[in-house]
Amino acid sequence: MPILQWLNSEQNHQTDNPEHQELLQGKEVHKMLLTDFKRLVREKVLPKPKETEPINKPNGNQIVFVHTGQQDMDYAQKIAKQLEAKGYGTALPRYTGKPEQIVKSIQRGIRFCHIMLLLQKNTSADVIEDFLADVITQSDQREQELPLLICSDQAAEEILFKPANTRILQCTDRFDEHCLEQFLAEAVV
């Protein structure tokens, strides 16, 4: 069992007794301030934190912004969970709270994502087209062009505003694994 002895560095510990002097100069004696001694005790007694191994990220640091209108958020959340299971980072719009928070969540998603996936089932084409216009407006803040993919239900309203880097994928009405695989096949270069 290790022994740690503290000796106050601010006091004079001179003694004429050689045995006492030997005890004051032993290898277990630490002449320091009490606060430093406490830190030393913690370092010696508490277990050292284990070094964490880097997390294996099969898809690097790619973030997918799964964007949609409020009407289709349940689909967006489902797709985001599937993407996370495959190693992607995700961002979703926030539709609760103050309007400024909602706008900020959308701007953050556009700014930091590597790929944008727009989902459209019940969301109107006007709303999706406004989202696409927002992406173009914010594109000057990005270093790279943002790949835009739209998973659109076959029965969804037609989108008439399509920026040059937009791909529209026809998906099933469930936005299930088929949709995700179709999206990944298009998105992963």
Q: What is the pLDDT along the chain (189 residues), one digit of tens a residue?
A: 778 888 887 777 777 888 888 878 878 888 888 888 888 888 887 776 665 544 444 556 789 999 999 999 988 898 899 888 888 899 999 998 899 999 999 989 988 888 888 888 899 999 999 988 888 888 766 677 777 888 888 888 989 998 887 888 877 656 656 666 767 776 654
Distance separating alpha carbons of residues 187 and 164, to the nearest angstrom: 15
Residue 120 is part of a domain; what is its CATH number?
A: 3.40.50.10140
**CB 135 within 8 Å of CB 146:** yes
Q: How far is CA 41 from the centre of its chain?
A: 36
What is the structure's pLDDT at 170? 75
Q: What is the DSSP string of 49-90?
A: PPPPPPP--TTTT-EEEEE--GGGHHHHHHHHHHHHHTT-EE
Whether 118 and 163 map to the same domain: the answer is yes
Whether 183 and 98 map to the same domain: the answer is yes
**CB 162 within 8 Å of CB 181:** no
Whether 74 and 166 map to the same domain: the answer is yes
Distance separating alpha carbons of residues 41 and 46, to the nearest angstrom: 8
**CB 161 within 8 Å of CB 131:** no
Structural domain total, the chain: 2
Domain that holds residue 26: 5-45
Q: Judging by DSSP bridges, how do beta strands 89-91 and 63-67 pair with one another? A: parallel
Enter the pTM of the model.
Answer: 0.64
Whether 23 and 80 map to the same domain: the answer is no
What is the structure's pLDDT at 146? 78
- Residues 6 or more apart in contact with residue 187 via CB below 8 angstroms: 64, 115, 117, 147, 149
What is the structure's pLDDT at 52? 52
Whether 68 and 22 map to the same domain: the answer is no
What is the structure's pLDDT at 186? 67
Whether 91 and 126 map to the same domain: the answer is yes
Whether 124 and 165 map to the same domain: the answer is yes
Region of 67 (left: φ > 0; alpha: ψ -120 to 50; beta: rest) is beta
Whether 40 and 75 map to the same domain: the answer is no
What is the structure's pLDDT at 174? 61
What is the structure's pLDDT at 178? 63
Whether 35 and 70 map to the same domain: the answer is no
- Does the residue 121 lie in any domain? yes
- Does the residue 53 lie in any domain? no
